Amino acid sequence: MLQITSLQRRELRARAHGLNPVVSIAENGLTEAVLKEIDVCLKAHELIKIRVYGDSRDDRIAYYEQICEQLAAAQVQHIGKLLVVFRPAPADAAAVNTEKGQKSRRSAPRKTKRAFQS
């Protein structure tokens, strides 16, 4: 399980405030398909919310711990039936895109018309 500092946790909670849940855990519980979907979402977004439909608090805590253990993610927040999970994107993902000739997301800003005038 990934460990984060309290300062990082506070920043991640602030970032997660406006997010909507992307994965739901329903009556079948935490299946392999749900774990795979959480893994895909973590690769794409790094920070996600998960909604757990169920009234048992103990089950939600068990799901939370199992998700973080199996996917090497960090526990950010557990409030009500929402779980917030963070896993940083692998550093080699950005390198792969630039090797293929694709622009990385953080390329230099485009020059405007005014920039060429001066």
pTM: 0.75
pLDDT on residue 90: 80
| Sequence-ordered alpha helix ranges (H) in the chain | 6-16, 32-45, 57-71, 91-99, 113-117
Local structure of 20: helix, strand or coil: coil
pLDDT digits (tens, 9 = 90+) for 60-117: 999 999 999 999 999 999 999 999 999 998 876 555 444 555 555 666 777 777 766 7
| Domains of the chain (ranges, CATH numbers) | 6-87 (3.30.110.60)
pLDDT on residue 93: 55
